[in-house]
């Protein structure tokens, strides 16, 4: 795949990828951001992704994944090349040390973590050369590239998994047919439009006692996702005298803190700075914003902690957009 065509053809990928060989649970549309800045929408074909963590290997169903932020993945054969060059920085032969420095400079940011280790070498020659190379590589490399962590972060619908994706590639489909995405070329992969249900409990004591308390559902929302939220339960707005000021998800009959919604109402927002909207017992819409879905129980106006839990079910489904 020629990534120079990515931005021109990205719009076509959605309908094409979804139309051919969709997974059994529906299309796993993903927005893939590459190292060169291009963004391509593709259909992830793999049923699972294996991640090696400090506690062992996990096999994660792709349908449970919301986002992957890639750590540093070296291109094939690059690790040996870097190891050999770093080792040759300590060579007795001046020319071999010089050649190793030139090679590491050419390799660039891929060699940065190895050079950081070499910079603290007890061998003065190795440390000096490594420190010089770090400075020269940093001068020509964007800071965000140098900050790439060693591990991948896989955000599932329930919790993040930190580790290393075992395979060097992910199987996907686009306009050019089936592709093996090299992880060394990818910066992030945002799964779009999953079809599924999520059930959560929103504790008003934690997410309904202050206006800055928001529950992160972990669900990524965009304009291609139809989302239906239903909720039930009771929240006591004044638990000091139980049962006298009990709210349901639509709210109690008095304004809550801030005055924008009734006390005890279940509200949501999309993104960390999104505008709050009413959910109540049921909310169904296609999002007009992009970001993670957050929930909150509106606090009482009496500056006290509430008690009680709203049981919330979130159903998401990808929608087809004409012409895309």
Split at pLDDT 50, 70, 90, the class of 16 is very low
pLDDT of residue 40: 87
Q: Are 187 and 206 in contact (CB under 8 A)?
A: no
What is the residue-wise DSSP string for 186-241? EEEEEEE---EEEEEEEEHHHHSSSTT--EEEEEEE-TTEEEEEEEEEEEES-TTS
Q: Are 129 and 114 in contact (CB under 8 A)?
A: no
pLDDT digits (tens, 9 = 90+) for 234-277: 999 999 999 999 999 999 999 999 999 999 999 999 988 889 99
| CA 8/CA 314 separation, integer angstroms | 34
Average pLDDT over residues 17-29: 48
pLDDT digits (tens, 9 = 90+) for 71-100: 999 999 999 999 999 999 999 999 999 999
pLDDT digits (tens, 9 = 90+) for 93-142: 999 999 999 999 999 999 999 999 999 999 999 999 999 999 999 999 98
pLDDT digits (tens, 9 = 90+) for 218-234: 777 776 678 999 999 99
| CA 79/CA 315 separation, integer angstroms | 44
pLDDT of residue 175: 80
Rounded to 5 degrees, φ, ψ at 61 are: -60, 135
Burial call 285-316: b when 16+ CB within 10 Å, e when fewer = eebeebbbbbbbbbbbeeeebbbbbbebebeb
Q: Are strands 29-34 and 186-192 parallel, antiparallel or unpaired?
A: antiparallel
pLDDT of residue 247: 97
| CA 295/CA 274 separation, integer angstroms | 11
Domains defined along the chain, listed by start: 3-71+149-192 (no CATH), 78-145 (1.25.10), 196-318 (2.60.120.430)
């Amino acid at each position: 795949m020629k990534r120079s065509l990515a931005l021109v053809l990205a719009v076509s990928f959605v309908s094409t990828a979804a139309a051919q060989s969709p997974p059994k649970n529906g299309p796993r549309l993903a927005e893939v951001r590459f190292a060169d800045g291009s963004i391509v929408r593709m259909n992830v074909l793999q049923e699972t992704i294996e991640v090696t963590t400090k506690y062992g290997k996990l096999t994660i169903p792709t349908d449970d994944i919301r986002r992957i932020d890639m750590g540093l993945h070296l291109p094939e054969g690059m690790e040996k090349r870097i190891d050999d060059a770093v080792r040759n920085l300590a060579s007795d032969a001046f020319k071999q040390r010089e050649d190793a420095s030139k090679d590491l400079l050419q390799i660039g940011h891929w060699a940065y973590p190895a050079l950081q280790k070499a910079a603290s070498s007890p061998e003065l020659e190795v440390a000096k050369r490594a420190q010089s190379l770090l400075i020269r590589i940093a001068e020509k490399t964007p800071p965000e590239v140098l900050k790439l962590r060693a591990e991948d972060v896989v955000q599932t619908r329930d919790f993040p998994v930190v580790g290393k994706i075992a395979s060097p590639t992910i199987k996907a489909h686009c306009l050019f047919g089936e592709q093996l995405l090299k992880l060394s070329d990818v910066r992030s992969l945002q799964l779009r439009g999953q079809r599924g249900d999520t059930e959560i409990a929103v504790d008003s004591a934690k997410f309904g006692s202050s206006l800055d308390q928001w529950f992160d559902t972990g669900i990524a929302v965009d304009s291609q996702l139809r989302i239906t939220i239903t909720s039930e339960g009771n929240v006591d707005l004044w638990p000091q005298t139980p049962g006298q000021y009990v709210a349901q998800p639509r709210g109690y009959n008095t304004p809550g803190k801030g005055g924008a919604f009734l006390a005890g109402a279940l509200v949501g927002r999309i993104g960390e700075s999104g505008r709050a909207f009413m959910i109540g017992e049921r909310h169904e819409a296609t999002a007009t914003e992009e970001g993670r879905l957050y929930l909150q129980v509106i606090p009482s106006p009496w500056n006290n902690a509430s008690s009680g839990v709203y049981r919330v079910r979130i159903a998401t489904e990808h929608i087809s957009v004409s012409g895309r």
